[in-house]
Every structure is written in C-alpha cells, then in structure tokens.
Amino acid sequence: MKRKLMIGGILFGLFGGHSLATAQEEIFQRGVELGIGSRALGMGGAYIGVADDYSASFWNPAGLTQIRRLEGFGTLTYGQHKNVASFGSESNLDELTTTRFNSLGLAYPVPTYQGSLVFSLGYHSVKPFESSLQFKFLNTTPDDSVAQDYSELEEGSLNNWTFAGAAEIAPNFSLGAALNIWSGDNIYQLTFNESDLPFNLYTTMNFHDEQEVTSTFSGYNLKVGGLYRPLPNFRLGFTVGTPVTYTIKEEWRRDWEEVFDADSVHTYSGKGLDEYKIRSPFSFGLGASLNVANLLLAGSVESNDWSQVRYVSDPPFEDKTKAEANKELQSQYRSTLRYRLGAEMTLPLIDLQVRAGYFYDPTPLGPDYFAGGRVPKDADREFFTAGAGIFLDKQVRLDLGVITGRWLAYKNPDFSEKITFNQAFAALAFRF
C-alpha cells in the first residue's frame, strides 16, 4: 500500500493526537481565565486593590467588607473566537461565537455594632474553552495530489461555586476567604478526511478519521485575601490561592475508515474511559488602587509557577510512570507573572463612569513545548479593555464593556495558528 500524507501528515501530527495524547493538560493550557464582573473586566481585571462589589468574591474576598447593603449581581457575556490557520501560502479563517452567564451572585452584610462582616454566594464561568479550527488543502503537485479536510471543535468551560466571607478586623484592615468548588466540562471533536480523487495516484481512495473526547472536571480550593486602607483614597490588597487538585474523567472515542481502489475497506472503532488527578500550583496576587479627583487608577500582578503542576495519581499513559509524566510536565511548563492595569473616570454631572484597561497573560507553556526550544514572543496573550457604568437609579447599576486580544497559539516552520478573541459583557448590580 502506498499513501502519502504531505500536508495531512503535518496537520494530523500537530492536532490529531491532541484528543488522545494531551487532552489531560487542557485545563491549564486551553482557554483564557479573564475573570468576572463587567466593571472589573472593563478595568482590565486590575481589581485586587479595588474589590468593592460582589465580584470581590473572585478577585479579593477581603474587599467584601466594603459592601454596606444587600447586593445582587449578574453578568452576561457574548464572545467571538477567530482562528487563522496557515500553511505556506494557504490560510483559512474559522469563527465561533458563544453567549453565556459569566457570574451570578449575592452578597449579604451582617449587621454589626462596629466594623463589617459580609458573606457571599455565587456561580461563575471562569474559563471558556470554546474554539474552532478548520483547514482545507488540495495538493496538485505532479507526484502527490491529495485533498485534505481537517476540523476541530471545542466547547465547554471551567466553572465554580464560591462561598466567601470577610470581616473588618481593624479600622483599616480586612481579611476574607473564599471556598471555590470547581466543576466543568470540555467536549473536543476532531474530523479528518483525505481523498485521492480526482487523479487517483495511490491505492488508497479515501481516508476518514473521527475523534471525540468528553472531559469533566471537579475539585476545590481556598482563596484568602487582605485589604489595607492606609489612606482614605488608597488601598493595598493581596491574595493567596491554594492548589486545586482536579479529578478529571475523560471518555474518548475514535473511528476511522480507509477505502482502497480495489473496493476493500479497513476500519477501526475504539473507545475508553480514563480517570486521574492533576494538581495546579499556588497562586499569589498583589494589587493597589488610588482614587484622586474622580480618577481611579489600579494595578495588580499574579504569580503562578506552572512548572509545579503534578499528577497526584497514575497518569492516563500506558507508556509512562507518574514520575516520568511529572518530569515531562516540569520541563514543558514555566513560571509566569500576569499583570493588569486599569483606570476609571467618574463624570459626576451625568453620574457616568468610563473605564479602560490592559491585561498581559503569558502562556504557561515553556520553551520545550515550542519548536526551536524557545517561547515565541507573540505566544503571550495581551488584552485591551474598555467599559462604562451608570446608576439607573439609587439601587441599580448597569455596567457594559468590551475586551479584545490576540496571540499565537501554535507555530513551527510549516504551520501557524493565530487567535483573535473579542468579548462584550453586561452586568446589573442591585443594592437594597
């Protein structure tokens, strides 16, 4: 049998093994963790040192003590994911849109004689996994003429339920903690088709392959935070997030069919279920904000050493021990420092707030993951944000915003994949 996969071999080698070989790491390297709340996102997520509404439950639970009245909170998002896949002079644009609830929660201040005590409960969609990739190619060289059609579709999200509480333990200092119960799923589908028609140069007429992996996630962790107000218009905040040990269940299926010129057919059908546990690293955050003359300036940083990701059970590989798999994780991931900047201007005459922000999110993947042994500069993700908020009355605030970013998802000498991400969000906050 003679069958040559010139383009298809490269594409299928790059992506065809994703579902069965690297899906277990998707919870760390797939998707983007933007955060919650339209006001916070409009300021680039620079909210550790602001945290004065319900979304403090996510950013810095100590900030909940700044809420003085019962608050209900909800955010709706509309996202657009564009993927440009290029091979040589050939390129293909694929687009996927989604609409989902970003957050829904309630904060309740407990009456106290002095200080502040606040509890909150909410649900958040923290990291969407939606993406889509398609690539079609017809190779018409004299000695190799085949048509390939490759497509990926990924849907799902990582979510959490958060129960948080905070207390003002000194006139200018608050402590808070949030218990996060994590859950979510990711459905990954791959389809590859190669045809020898119309020139019929090979003994194989058609090859068709379908793969699907459905992953479910569960876990929990604790996030603690502090907020210090040395001056009435200046705040300092910090957070520490404990590692999350995710229990991951992956149900996979693969079916392929190869049709030959002699009308003979070879087929394969297989399925299975894997279950394992993998642990994230600690997360450390620091933020500050300054409010001067109706202008709020904020910044924050977050440190994560992704090289500390570890399997805490046997990995889903038959050919690797846990020690070998963890050594590979250590070499493929790296330490990162996310940083966020934001500003908000209040226009008192019309009771309007306008916002802008910036978010830099370096890829957790290290040099060993990329061709050439170095991380491409444009593999790190950058986002620009803008937004506005207005009080519809004394009890209801409407916040709107947008975010846009782009990055290089994959690159080697033959193939590249570039992502453009846009999202619009709207939130309503009710205080009684």
Number of independent structural domains in the chain: 1
pLDDT value, residue 21: 39
Average confidence score pLDDT of the chain: 87
Sequence-distant contacts of 369-373: CB under 8 A, at least 24 apart: 369/332, 370/411, 371/411, 371/412, 371/413
Residue 404 phi/psi, 5° resolution? Answer: -140, 145
**Residue 219 resides in a domain:** yes
Region 23-37: mean pLDDT is 77
Q: How far is CA 377 from CA 91, 361, 382, 410, in A?
A: 21, 12, 11, 12
| pLDDT per residue as tens digits for the range 368-422 | 877 677 888 788 999 999 999 998 888 999 999 999 999 887 777 777 788 999 9
Q: Under a CB-based contact definition with an 8 Å cutoff, are residues 337 and 303 in contact?
A: yes
CA 159 to chain centre: 11
**Residue 126 resides in a domain:** yes
| pLDDT of 69 higher than 90 | yes
Q: Under a CB-based contact definition with an 8 Å cutoff, are residues 370 and 411 in contact?
A: yes
Closest residue by Cα to residue 150 from 189, 199, 180, 200: 189
* CATH label of the domain that carries residue 28: 2.40.160.60
Q: What is the DSSP letter of 203?
A: S
| pLDDT per residue as tens digits for the range 208-257 | 899 999 999 999 999 999 999 999 999 999 999 999 999 999 999 999 88
Q: Under a CB-based contact definition with an 8 Å cutoff, are residues 340 and 357 in contact?
A: yes
pLDDT value, residue 259: 83
Residue 35, sorted as left (phi over 0), alpha (psi -120 to 50) or beta, turns out to be: left
**Residue 23 resides in a domain:** yes
Q: How far is residue 224's CA from residue 50's CA, in Å, rounded to a whole number?
A: 15
Q: In 3-state terms, what secondary structure has residue 294?
A: coil
Q: Which domain holds residue 128?
A: 6-431
The pLDDT confidence band at residue 353, using thresholds 50, 70 and 90, is very high
pLDDT value, residue 23: 45
| pLDDT per residue as tens digits for the range 254-281 | 998 888 877 788 889 999 999 999 999 9
| pLDDT of 198 higher than 70 | no
Torsion of CA 270, 273, 277, 278, to 10 degrees: 30
Beta-carbon contacts of residue 136 (< 8 Å; ≥ 6 apart): 92, 147, 148, 149, 150
pLDDT value, residue 289: 98
Region 70-96: mean pLDDT is 87
| pLDDT of 22 higher than 50 | no
**Residue 211 resides in a domain:** yes
pLDDT value, residue 174: 97
pLDDT value, residue 16: 42
pLDDT value, residue 148: 81
pLDDT value, residue 142: 60
pLDDT value, residue 121: 98
The pLDDT confidence band at residue 144, using thresholds 50, 70 and 90, is low
Burial of 198 from C-beta contacts in 10 A (0-12 / 13-18 / 19+) = exposed
pLDDT value, residue 147: 79
pLDDT value, residue 220: 96
Query: What pTM did the predictor assign?
Result: 0.88
**Residue 1 resides in a domain:** no
| pLDDT per residue as tens digits for the range 6-21 | 334 444 444 444 433 3
The pLDDT confidence band at residue 203, using thresholds 50, 70 and 90, is low
pLDDT value, residue 2: 33
Q: Under a CB-based contact definition with an 8 Å cutoff, are residues 237 and 288 in contact?
A: yes
The pLDDT confidence band at residue 90, using thresholds 50, 70 and 90, is confident
Closest residue by Cα to residue 427 from 52, 46, 105: 105
Token pair belonging to 326: 């963890």
**Residue 181 resides in a domain:** yes
pLDDT value, residue 72: 95
Q: Under a CB-based contact definition with an 8 Å cutoff, are residues 316 and 277 in contact?
A: no
**pLDDT cut 70: percent of the chain above it:** 90
pLDDT value, residue 180: 98
| pLDDT of 355 higher than 80 | yes
| pLDDT of 327 higher than 90 | yes
- Pairing outcome for strands 173-195 and 234-241: unpaired
